[in-house]
Amino acid sequence: MLNLLGDFIGELRAAGIPVSMSEHIDAAMAMEVISLSDREMLRSSLSTTLVKDGDHLAAFNTAFEVFFSIRSWESAEQLMGEPDGDEVGQEGASGASGPGQSRGEGGGASSSLSAQELADLLFRALRDGDRTALRRAAGEAVDRYAGIEPGRPVGGTYYLYRTLRNLDLENLERRLSEGTVEQLGDSLVERLARDEARSRIEALKAEVEREIRERLVEDRGAEALAKSVRKPLPEDLDVMHANREEMAQLERALRPLSRKLAVRLARRRRRRRRGPVDLRHTVRRSLSTGGVPIDLRFKPPHPAKPEIFVIADISGSVASFARFTLHLVHAISSQFSKVRSFVFVDGLDEVSRLFDGVDDPAEAVARINAEADVIAFDGHSDYGRALVSFHERFAQDVTRRATVLILGDARNNYHQAHAEVIADLKYRAKAVYWLNPEPASYWNSGDSIIGQYAGYCDRVIECRTLRQLEAFVGELA
């Protein structure tokens, strides 16, 4: 069992969830005091000891379902000799595999039931809320429709799609809702009946997915399957290619991330708050120790907060990355002496005014697309023109205390690069950094001219995720 826990924690770490050695020990100790026959209690205990961020629960649950699948759990219980393991195993076997289930791993319709008999079995199980019958029906559905082939490197999503496509869930949902309305005879409950029917259909989908996952675990092993179904954490999602649901996860993760980063930077700055030795005060303190300077006194340090100039491409291809970076930088603006923000497509506009007096940077970021004047000609990215515009209007404000941060993929639509502007900014500023949200393997391909700018930047950094963004911003202050 300890080996299984170790493999499970290894998968959590591979997925990006931080688990310390002390937390590993806490989880092992928790398993000693709970009843291992209660799988949900085990889930709760492990999530409590191992997960510190609510956004990581989805990845945790995915790994848990693989490593502690019902069938493998029953086998482990039998090996451990749990007192009630046989009973639990029998219950799980009758529920998960079911009588007559032929394990349909060779493809084709291997279920012992006809399509109509299977549909009626599913309807009765859902109507009565019978979990055991539902588990048996899900097993029959997988037997008949999934066509799982041993050893074939196909993910569970493919088998799930094949199974659900053949179950005619719309008709099943309609039968459930109509039956409820007929029994109650009240039109006021019709909407509630539809919602309840939809909820039970979702339970069926989850049961079918669980059944497929457990068969794949038996076929390939937990570790191999875990790699194929691993869900990225919000901080590891590619910002440029995130879908709507993933963008919502990123936005939820950004607020606590900005607070954590601000606290970390403030703590680091406090540690640096020692200037040169103050000889006069040190000598005065040494009089009480016979002139031996045991207690050194230091002068207060000079303010060292940097100025930040952010120049961001907000054209369609990199707009989401620019929004998140602007949000994060302004959320921790208290750690900088000044933050000025500029956005561009083929024209450039300063948007620092939108952040003035705004408590939530997300509000200002949302206004940028509507209020920023960034279109000068055809609305296609023109880095050279935007950089020249910045240099003509704002270069005199860039001093040796300033750090210039450029955000974009450097895809210039074959316009002139005007890399000499970056060279001049590097001469004026403390540092020039370029954050590129494209994979490094795509740089300098097609209309990408990042190579022409890279020689004049202190660093060009691939920055596609919140984790990478956090690591970089943490180095600025």
How is 262-288 classified by DSSP, letter by letter? HHHHHHHHHHT---SB-HHHHHHHHGG
Task: Label residue 99 by pLDDT band (50, 70, 90).
Answer: very low
CB neighbour list of residue 86: distance below 8 Å, 6 or more residues apart: 78
Q: Provide φ and ψ at 340, rounded to 5°.
A: -120, 135
User: Does residue 51 or residue 83 have the better pLDDT?
Assistant: 51
- Predicted local confidence at residue 19, as pLDDT: 94
Q: Provide φ and ψ at 312, rounded to 5°.
A: -120, 130
Least confident of 49-53, 151-155, 380-384: 151-155
Measured CA to CA, the distance from residue 447 to residue 410 in angstroms comes to: 8
Q: Is the pLDDT of residue 429 over 60?
A: yes
Instruction: Name, of 154-163, 258-267, 376-385, the range with top average pLDDT.
Output: 376-385
Closest Cα to residue 425, out of 325, 305, 302, 342? 342
Pair 443, 436: CB distance under 8 Å: yes
- Predicted local confidence at residue 106, as pLDDT: 41
Give me the chain's average pLDDT, please: 81
What are the pLDDT digits (tens) for 12-60?
998 889 999 999 999 999 998 888 778 889 999 999 999 998 888 988 9
Q: Where are the domains of the chain?
A: 2-226, 244-271+305-476
Handedness of CA 351, 357, 361, 367 (dihedral sign): negative
pLDDT mean over 70-81: 53
Pair 6, 20: CB distance under 8 Å: no
pTM value? 0.69
- Predicted local confidence at residue 73, as pLDDT: 55
- For every residue of 36-64, DSSP letters joined together read TT-HHHHHHHHHHHH---GGGHHHHHHHH
Task: Label residue 369 by pLDDT band (50, 70, 90).
Answer: confident
Measured CA to CA, the distance from residue 477 to residue 111 in angstroms comes to: 64
- Predicted local confidence at residue 83, as pLDDT: 46
For 322, 397, 476, the CA distances from 394, given in Å and listed in that order, are 20, 6, 21
Q: Is the pLDDT of residue 80 over 80?
A: no
pLDDT mean over 120-131: 86
CB neighbour list of residue 143: distance below 8 Å, 6 or more residues apart: 101, 102, 103, 104, 110, 111, 112
Q: Which two tokens stand for residue 332?
A: 């921790």
Q: Which two tokens stand for residue 89?
A: 């195993």
Q: Provide φ and ψ at 188, rounded to 5°.
A: -65, -25
Percent of the chain with pLDDT over 70: 85
Q: Where are the beta strands (DSSP E) in 72-138?
A: none
CA end-to-end span of the chain, whole Å? 46
Residue 437's region, left for phi above 0, alpha for psi from -120 to 50, else beta, is alpha
The full length of the chain comes to 477
Architecture of domain 244-271+305-476: 3-Layer(aba) Sandwich (3.40)
Residue 74, classified by CB atoms within 10 Å of its CB into exposed (0-12), middle (13-18) or buried (19+), is buried
- Predicted local confidence at residue 166, as pLDDT: 84
- Give every strand in the sheet of 307-313, ordered side by side: 348-350, 338-344, 307-313, 402-407, 431-436, 459-462
Q: Is the pLDDT of residue 279 over 80?
A: yes
Query: What secondary structure letter does DSSP report for 168?
Result: -
Handedness of CA 222, 223, 228, 232 (dihedral sign): positive
Q: Is the pLDDT of residue 461 over 90?
A: yes
CB neighbour list of residue 357: distance below 8 Å, 6 or more residues apart: none
Instruction: Name, of 165-179, 316-330, 343-357, the range with top average pLDDT.
Output: 343-357
Least confident of 5-9, 66-70, 429-433: 66-70
Measured CA to CA, the distance from residue 281 to residue 110 in angstroms comes to: 89
CA atoms within 13 A on the CB side of 23: 17
- Predicted local confidence at residue 327, as pLDDT: 87
Least confident of 95-99, 222-226, 283-287: 95-99
Measured CA to CA, the distance from residue 197 to residue 126 in angstroms comes to: 8
Q: Enumerate the H helices of 295-430 as residue ranges.
A: 319-331, 352-355, 361-371, 383-394, 420-428
Pair 156, 229: CB distance under 8 Å: yes
What are the pLDDT digits (tens) for 103-113?
444 444 455 77
Measured CA to CA, the distance from residue 89 to residue 95 in angstroms comes to: 10
Measured CA to CA, the distance from residue 280 to residue 211 in angstroms comes to: 77
Task: Label residue 90 by pLDDT band (50, 70, 90).
Answer: very low
CA triple 32-33-37, angle to 5 deg: 85
Residue 57's region, left for phi above 0, alpha for psi from -120 to 50, else beta, is alpha
Task: Label residue 84 by pLDDT band (50, 70, 90).
Answer: very low
467 Cα distance to chain centroid: 9
